[in-house]
Amino acid sequence: MLNSPLSPSSTELVISILDMVLSEGKPLDRAYSVHFSGLQLIPSEQARITKVVGDILRRLNLYCFLSDVKPEEISRLGSRLMNAWHLFHELELPKLQYSLPLAEAEYFARLEEAKVQPALWDGCPEWLDTMGQAQLGDAWAKERAALNAQPKRFIRTNILKCTREELAKKLRNEQVQTTEVDGVDTALEVVSDSALFRTESFKKGWFEQQDAGSQLVAAAVDAKPGMRVIDACAGAGGKTLSIAAQMKGKGRLLAMDVEQWKLDNLKQRARRANASNVETRIIASSKTIKRLKLSADRLLLDVPCSGLGVLKRNPDAKWRDTPDRLPVLVELQKHILQSYSRMVKVGGILIYATCSIMPEENRDQVDAFLAENEHFTFLEDETISVADSGFDGFYMARLERIAE
């Protein structure tokens, strides 16, 4: 990715995408959609642009420091920031039509200053570094460094339609190179810059793009054919479809969410995946939950969270209002865990999950719930470390209902 400079047109496109995210507050995926729509970019160039944007956002405060540019000045001073990015990666500076000068002597002085500031070097905002140190102690430094790495591309084999070996062979014939992921039976890592969603394999529903850590969370549900399973915070349904494959299309899998458009998207994905036992239901009120009391063999609560385990994949979140939202999210997690747990039958398993690595959202929530709910008992939990796994960061805990 970083062995040659960007072309002037690609550099300008990077600046425009960054400006939409940082100045207008648009989500990164929305900014990509707006800027790539209608362009005839070859897949490799589009992939390169997204990688450069991602790299800049993962270490935004570092590149801003090196170029002496504030995030809100990207539209006006973006070329200077891009010059700093090229210098940092030892690349020839792009020949832009309108380029603001960057004093290289000042840049290299700032570079030496940044090297002795670990949080700045890792692209970590002050609020996040303070939180990480408080909650993870000595383990935070390696997680902080890992969160600024380029994320790997993982896909999940749809075992309703093929085996992992069959999928790898099919993709190889479509010029997509993959490797198996140890410890995650359904996962392949994509190691080539390929247009995944243009492949026949994708159109036929042979795979879904899903991080390997997310696949482990879904595997923890351990759903069996014939069970009644509820995914109560289903979203667009990545884990729902993984659970459907575990069930081999047999039994009842209810995907629930508070937003209908997400469930509508899930229906389309389920049809492509041949996940025939998936049904969707909007959570319109607390009555929706009450009607399902003591009915689920398995209940997955993949609750709304800070997303602090997936920052390398969603780097724009570091520069949003996460510190202000976190207390609200923690209260929402408590409410969902307390209220939705009523759906688990005696002998059934509740799986609580987040895409955060912070104990405040994870084990602390589980311990508080167990202290107030003696009819549940703790089975096991796991934090998927970003640094140790190479995956996104997740947490999951398994609790069993032992009485009404």
Per cent of the chain over pLDDT 70 is 98
- Position 7 scores a pLDDT of 86
Low-confidence ranges of the chain (pLDDT < 70): 1-3, 97-100
Helix, strand, coil content of the chain in percent (nearest 5): 50, 15, 35
Looking at residue 155, its amino acid is I
Residue with tokens 């940082």: 22
Q: Residue 205: what are its φ and ψ, rounded to 5°? A: 80, 25
| The two three-digit tokens of residue 184, written as one number | 């995650």
3-state secondary structure 236-257: CCHHHHHHHHHCCCCCEEEEEE
CA distance linking residue 334 with residue 366, whole number of Å: 9
Q: What is the pLDDT of residues 30-75, one digit of tens each?
A: 999 999 988 888 878 888 899 999 999 999 999 999 999 999 999 9
User: How many whole angstroms separate alpha carbon 57 and alpha carbon 149?
Assistant: 11
Q: Which of 355, 51, 59 is nearest to 212 (CA)?
A: 355
Tell me the whole-structure pTM to 2 decimals.
0.94
Whole-number pLDDT of residue 97: 61
